[in-house]
Structure 1
Amino acid sequence: MSAQVSTAISEQPEQLLFEKLNTLLSKYLNSAHIDQVYQAYRYGAKHHQGQFRKTGEAYICHPLAVAISLAKMRMDVHGIMAAILHDLIEDTDVSKQEILELFGEDVAELVDGVTKLTQLNCKTQAEAQAENVRKMCLAMAKDMRVIMVKLGDRLHNMQTLGVMRPDKKRRIAKETLDIYTPIANRLGMNNIRHQLESLCFEAMHPMRYRILKNAVKKARGNRNEIVATITNSLKTRLHQEHVSCDVQGREKYLYSIYKKMLAKKLSFSDIFDVYAFRIHCDNVDTCYRVLGIVHNLFKPIPGKFKDYIALPKANGYQSLHTIVIGPYGVPLEIQIRTHQMHRMSESGIAAHWLYKSDDEEHFNSKYRANEWVRDLLEIQKTAGNSLEFIDNLKIDLFPQEIFVFTPQGNIVKLPRNSSVVDFAYAVHTDIGNSCVSARIDKRLAPLQAKLGNGVTVEVIRATWARPNPLWLNYVVTTKARAGIRSYLKHFKQQEAISLGRRLLEKELQDIGKSLEDISESMQNQLLIAINLASTDELYEEIGLGNKMPFLIAKQLNQADVSASLKLEDTEIRKETPLAIKGSEGMVVTIAKCCRPIPGDPIVGYFNPGKGIVVHHHECRNSTNERKKTTDWLEVEWSNDTTGEYPTEIRLELLNQPGTLATIVSTISKLESNIENINIAEQDGRVSVDYITLTVKDRLHLANIMRQLKKLFIVLKITRTRG
């Protein structure tokens, strides 16, 4: 640091903090960069002057503490400057433009990325927080240093929670535990994660924290003796094998002890029997050799070995994990990794700045982090709102991973309980949108099949296939969920527009008009009057049942639109039935209460937001509600109806062996599928069965019923209608 900087520092708390920061920076930054940091400090101190934190210290102490956390990770000069200036836009009258002019675009963008949104039109605090996290994730996509500054900021806020009300402490701690610690974990920054988890545990459960901490202290004496004995055993054996490694016994974190006690319903004494050791080697080959030595020294527990070197975690973590039985019959967890892997496990993405190098491990860590952020971007584009995005983010942050192979041998990482659909979307969105089934280890499997570790999956696609809303019931990855929702939303919108146009054209035909007869100015007047932006929006509203097509037709036909808006819903109109083809998709649904099929007399009901529900003309639901003329629509089956439709028949059968098999075989021969069989009544002689089957139309159903009637086992057959 220059002489000018040195003389300016006196012994105020904030200046002592800057001296500490300066000491850390001088180990890896040159004097010109340190001077830049000092200028940022002077500027921040000037604008935060007169502001104090609830702890009573000058506000500038907080940004300096954040900068110190990042300096310990050897953050670059712009990251350190952004840490010092990160609260200026939010808490002072300084603008992003001023920071840009004084300190450059890099620093200004970082500060803006960390800044919270202060003028949000959010109804709840949850929405505001969700929007903040969403903005931060978008900023992360531009520069990963944003999240590092934010994590440093959150760490110091958690360290100074003591002066706050208990309820506010718990709220901030829960938010940290829900969002920030998983993000730190996802980016491999375990050092910060463990600190945050311990602070959150203390804030949320102060009594439990205190009791557990005291219990650890009491047990520590005996434990240290055990750890020392085991450490010496490991060192001695490694020395005998002429292997040079560092051996460390480590104390489990309080929060991890607490989580294990909760999850497994164990007492403290049971948890504390698991001792943890780390062995740091020079290279990967030595790691595997050490594993063999450890397994010769202590007996391994079957099924408790994990190789994260060959198959790294999503955050880049690499290590060999094994649990063995130690000298006192105590389970020991032993982690074996290289020195480089250990640095990566502590700092994660921060290792890119911590140890500047181009080696493969650093590159892979940064690549994985950027890949994850790109996925977040894709998710946020399709999320309906901030709260949906935050739910997706939480799902993505808590995966227990499995590794699945493509037919080409590529590895795809997925959360546990992932289905074939999750795998398909993980490979590519287009593959997910067009998948119909799969081969798991060369055996055919349905889309909902759960994937196991190490299986090979080949997705079977079809050009006609499209996502099914039912997939949302069993997919677990955010990418799959977001892809399905996005497709269905767009698809339903297009269907609604098409149906809405048809409905409006039908109503206009009833009054001797067509859409071509309506002038553009008249259409625009109507759109303004009903507060819609385009004709497509109007068609969509009609197709979804939110606007009555006959009223819109009347309004378009009137010379004075404002007068026509006063038309009552009860106005009588001439009916021309709308033709139903059966292929309209999600905006026309067949009622399950009466199950109409082509050839039946039908009526349509407007279901707001969903479209038209088609009922049988004699359905009890339709008969009771037909007085609401504005909600009902005259419809008829089109001559070119396609598809198969479910219907239900009631059978009284002789109760004897083979009866059901004969019925099923007969129906199958007549090109119909059985969806459900329900045996309603049964005695020694007669069985009453309800069978749901698919038919093309009334003629198809009549033929099936005629053929079944010929069977001597069928006493009576009728079609049910709800």
Structure 2
Amino acid sequence: MKVQDLTDALLEYIPDADVDIILNAYIYSAKAHRGQSRRSGEAYISHPLEVANNLVKLKLDATTVAAGLLHDTIEDTLSTPEEIKELFGEEIFQLVDGVTKISQIHFSSHEESQAENYRKMIFAMAQDIRVVLIKLADRAHNMQTLESLSEERQRRIARETLEIYAPIANRLGIGWMKTELENGSFRYLYPEEYRTIEEKVAKGKEYRDQYVEKVTSRLVKELGEAEIPGKVAGRPKQFFSIYRKMMDQNISFEDVYDLVGVRVLTESLRDCYSVLGLVHSLWKPIPGKFKDYIAMPKPNMYQSLHTTVIGPRGEKVEVQIRSKEMHKVCEGGIAAHWRYKNKEDDNEKSMDQQLLWVRHLLENQKDLKNPKEFLHAFKVNLFPDAVYVFTPGGDVIALPHNATPVDFAFQVHTDVGYRCQSAKVNGKMVPLRYKLRDGDQVEIITSKDVSPSRDWLAFVKTPKARSRISNYINAEERARSLSLGKELLEQEIREYGLDPAVEMAGEVFEEAAQACGFNSTDSLLTGIGIGKLSTYHVIEKLIPKEKLEGKEPRDKTLIKLKESQQPESSRNAIKVQCFNENILIRIGKCCHPLPGEPIIGYITRGRGVTVHHIDCPSVGNVINDSERLVGVEWDTGMETIYQAHIAIVAGDKPGIMATISQAFAECGINITRANIQQGSHKRAYFDLSIEIHDVEHLNQILEKIRQVDGVIYLERIKDFNKNAPIKDRLEALGEKLVQQGKQELSIT
């Protein structure tokens, strides 16, 4: 690389660039670094030249390129800050000084120093993004010369690059630099995996090149005939991208279908969609494999159309389509906006949008006094919704924000997830719902005697973990429901004095299943097991009427419960995990849970799911029958009405009934049932049913009633039974209150 090459390249995109400042910076840097050499043996000046060349690739201005040539002078030579400022001006000095400060940052494992170093990085980015662009250019060249360093330093620099600088390049939208940094890091962090992928890619190169040529030739021909301007080229998948896909999807190298792809660069936004239509007319698109990043750009402003199709040989091929302007941004990212920021308002707005996350973090960093909080905030912004944790062997695993050890286990391997018994984080045992943090080292303890729990679905974050758990539980649940449904139907048939082996055989049983709306007898039995329909309904379709004459069925449960049994609001406002949305749901009469209270479901034979308060005594009675317990949750997005039952003890004085009724009216509460009786010791007993939205709403009402003069005690009756004599219970309570001389209110 020669300085003349830099100035020539610069003048191509900035014809009136001040090349003198670059020549002067080169001469000064060469003198300052005279006698110095790199560990590779090259003269040190070769490094500033390569850094400046990377900045030219980003098409940055002359000032930035000059600062790139000078970036190591303050740190590694006898040059002083004053001298740089005097010779090259304030702007270049600030850039060089900013890069020097970043270069002095060592991302140690100690939380406080690490947090402070991240703060410095964020501050530099917010002050002038060009400082970080120069540092990225510096790191990109350093990664190309790591072979001359010790293995320990290679791994340290590579890990720092993979965890910090490559993500920053990605967040700023600099695609080519992100790729270089990732592949360089991959080579030194995972040398065996790198060599394996390198060998396999080389082995199939000839075949893939022929295939890409076939695809691109056809596209070029069709674009010409359709008079759509476009440049077509092959796009080989990078080694680290292949490795990450293998890890993320738990697949082998042979299963990575997009080892090569095709990129089409066209002229306009309209042309992009025209090309998309042409591609889909040539080859069949794969459902779910189309992404429109033009309409919905990535956070780093990346825009492109991605589609995967079945190509000419029946093999999958990914096609990326974008305009030439979009491609400039895809490769140059924020640098593409920077060079036009003084010329076009739209580009300045785009750049401001890209840096918004940096500025927000800088503004909020004063409130993040805890180092852990700041590290978390930094990583969340740098890797949106992602955390990076380590395996015991030191491998990095990327997971979404708030991911748990269970997510980690499934990310390592599906079988590890299935057999996950417990977890250690940083050497200490933690609950499986523990939220992992950046830098955590996670160890999963497995056992062949455990299997996925439905409870895991309440806290896992990764799509992979959620889908694997759901699939496992659904398979188990279908098997249990099928067995339960078969048992229930057989019992019902025996109630009629008939033989299940006879009645549940042959085409008649299959026809009955279809008549009930199921495509198979197994589906029918599963439906009975989960409470989707009653055994009586099936028998009506299965057994001729003459066989049933004179016989009474044991179970006449209807498919749809009456409104008096189950208000529609309660059916729709509760979600049952891993079950069809049509499953019957009943609120337990033993506890009458309200939205906002913890609940659990219990599969009732032939009657769907009954929802109980988690502390309901009925749940304690069936806790050992865990196979029939199911996870349920309130649908908080629905506005619903529920019945709550309360009992009030008040002084029996004139107007007390009107006063209490007025308090309810002021709250806008509808009293649906009232039973008021006079008791001993001049007490009045109120047994009321009211309409409320949730438990918080109820608590607000109870607090209001508490203020009523004369109210001594009130209680929510969870195990309400309209036929039970609540007065007796309140009479006993009244006696106790009198004995204790108690007049104040208690709320339970």
TM range (shorter): 0.5 to 0.7
**1:195 matches 2:180:** yes
Q: Is the 8 A contact 2:258 2:318 kept in 1?
A: no
**1:87 matches 2:39:** no
**1:660 matches 2:598:** no
Q: Is the 8 A contact 1:274 1:330 kept in 2?
A: no
TM-score by length of 2: 0.53
Q: Is the 8 A contact 1:274 1:331 kept in 2?
A: no
Residue matched to 1:378: 363
Give the Cα separation in 2 of the matches to 1:152 and 1:33: 21
**1:107 matches 2:92:** yes
Change (3 A) 1:32 1:218: closer
**1:180 matches 2:110:** no
Give the Cα separation in 2 of the matches to 1:337 and 1:389: 37
Residue matched to 2:209: 224
> What is the CA distance between 1:387 and its match in structure 2?
5.2
Comparing 326-335 and 109-118, the one that deviates more:
109-118
Give the Cα separation in 1 of the matches to 2:459 and 2:712: 34
> What is the CA distance between 1:318 and its match in structure 2?
1.1
Give the Cα separation in 2 of the matches to 1:123 and 1:274: 36
> What is the CA distance between 1:28 and its match in structure 2?
4.7
**1:264 matches 2:249:** yes
> What is the CA distance between 1:364 and its match in structure 2?
4.7
Q: How many residues align?
A: 446
> What is the CA distance between 1:134 and its match in structure 2?
2.1
| Secondary structure at 1:335 match in 2 | strand
1:643-682 matches, within 5 Å, as 660=590, 677-679=615-617
| Secondary structure at 1:322 match in 2 | strand
Q: Is the 8 A contact 1:116 1:132 kept in 2?
A: no
**1:282 matches 2:267:** yes
Amino acid at match of 1:166: E
Amino acid at match of 1:99: I
Give the Cα separation in 1 of the matches to 2:171 and 2:338: 17
> What is the CA distance between 1:194 and its match in structure 2?
0.7
Give the Cα separation in 2 of the matches to 1:261 and 1:147: 31
Give the Cα separation in 2 of the matches to 1:239 and 1:125: 60
Give the Cα separation in 2 of the matches to 1:395 and 1:301: 32
| Secondary structure at 1:305 match in 2 | strand
Residue matched to 2:333: 348
| Secondary structure at 1:56 match in 2 | coil
Comparing 263-272 and 194-203, the one that deviates more:
263-272
Residue matched to 1:624: none
Give the Cα separation in 2 of the matches to 1:305 and 1:315: 19
Amino acid at match of 1:704: E
Residue matched to 1:437: none
Q: Is the 8 A contact 1:113 1:136 kept in 2?
A: no
Q: Is the 8 A contact 2:17 2:62 kept in 1?
A: no
**1:704 matches 2:715:** yes
Residue matched to 1:525: none
| Secondary structure at 1:65 match in 2 | helix
Q: Structure 2 regions of 5+ residues with no counterpart?
A: 387-398, 403-457, 462-586, 598-611, 623-645, 647-694, 738-745
1:556-635 matches, within 5 Å, as none
Q: Is the 8 A contact 2:107 2:114 kept in 1?
A: no
> What is the CA distance between 1:39 and its match in structure 2?
1.9
**1:155 matches 2:140:** yes
> What is the CA distance between 1:219 and its match in structure 2?
0.2
Amino acid at match of 1:321: H
> What is the CA distance between 1:96 and its match in structure 2?
2.9
The CA deviation string for residues 217-241 of structure 1, in whole angstroms up to 9 with x for no partner, is: 1101111111111112222222222
Change (3 A) 1:235 1:675: same
The CA deviation string for residues 328-370 of structure 1, in whole angstroms up to 9 with x for no partner, is: 2211211111111111111111223567884576345323223
Amino acid at match of 1:156: H
Q: Is the 8 A contact 2:107 2:160 kept in 1?
A: no
> What is the CA distance between 1:155 and its match in structure 2?
0.7
> What is the CA distance between 1:211 and its match in structure 2?
1.6
The CA deviation string for residues 56-86 of structure 1, in whole angstroms up to 9 with x for no partner, is: 3333332222111112222212101211222
Match of 2:322 among 313, 328, 337: 337
The CA deviation string for residues 304-345 of structure 1, in whole angstroms up to 9 with x for no partner, is: 222221222221111111111112221121111111111111
The CA deviation string for residues 30-69 of structure 1, in whole angstroms up to 9 with x for no partner, is: 7982222222223223333344332233333322221111
- RMSD value over aligned CA atoms? 4.3
Q: Is the 8 A contact 2:338 2:351 kept in 1?
A: no
Residue matched to 2:559: none
Give the Cα separation in 2 of the matches to 1:354 and 1:345: 15
| Secondary structure at 1:315 match in 2 | coil
Give the Cα separation in 2 of the matches to 1:662 and 1:36: 79
Give the Cα separation in 1 of the matches to 2:115 and 2:149: 22
Give the Cα separation in 1 of the matches to 2:332 and 2:168: 13
> What is the CA distance between 1:138 and its match in structure 2?
1.2
Q: Is the 8 A contact 1:188 1:345 kept in 2?
A: yes
Give the Cα separation in 2 of the matches to 1:287 and 1:369: 24
Change (3 A) 1:207 1:107: same
Change (3 A) 1:266 1:338: same
Q: Is the 8 A contact 1:114 1:149 kept in 2?
A: yes
Give the Cα separation in 2 of the matches to 1:100 and 1:365: 31
Give the Cα separation in 2 of the matches to 1:706 and 1:133: 56
Change (3 A) 1:140 1:266: same
Change (3 A) 1:83 1:247: same
Match of 1:321 among 277, 290, 306: 306
Give the Cα separation in 2 of the matches to 1:360 and 1:235: 36
Give the Cα separation in 2 of the matches to 1:715 and 1:158: 83
The CA deviation string for residues 562-582 of structure 1, in whole angstroms up to 9 with x for no partner, is: xxxxxxxxxxxxxxxxxxxxx
Change (3 A) 1:251 1:130: same
Amino acid at match of 2:360: D
Give the Cα separation in 1 of the matches to 2:330 and 2:619: 65
Residue matched to 2:379: 394
| Secondary structure at 1:289 match in 2 | helix
Give the Cα separation in 1 of the matches to 2:70 and 2:162: 25
Residue matched to 1:64: 49
Q: Is the 8 A contact 2:233 2:262 kept in 1?
A: yes
Q: Is the 8 A contact 1:159 1:199 kept in 2?
A: yes
> What is the CA distance between 1:119 and its match in structure 2?
8.6
Amino acid at match of 2:363: E
Q: Structure 1 regions of 5+ residues with no counterpart?
A: 1-15, 402-414, 419-472, 477-656, 668-673, 685-690
Give the Cα separation in 2 of the matches to 1:313 and 1:296: 27
> What is the CA distance between 1:274 and its match in structure 2?
5.2
Give the Cα separation in 1 of the matches to 2:122 and 2:729: 67
| Secondary structure at 2:41 match in 1 | coil
| Secondary structure at 1:145 match in 2 | helix
Give the Cα separation in 1 of the matches to 2:205 and 2:107: 49
Residue matched to 2:156: 171
1:467-546 matches, within 5 Å, as none
Residue matched to 2:29: 44
> What is the CA distance between 1:114 and its match in structure 2?
1.4
Give the Cα separation in 1 of the matches to 2:24 and 2:370: 40
| Secondary structure at 2:221 match in 1 | helix
Amino acid at match of 2:87: L
Q: Is the 8 A contact 1:79 1:107 kept in 2?
A: yes
Q: Is the 8 A contact 2:590 2:618 kept in 1?
A: no
Give the Cα separation in 2 of the matches to 1:156 and 1:225: 33
Change (3 A) 1:681 1:23: closer
Give the Cα separation in 2 of the matches to 1:375 and 1:153: 27
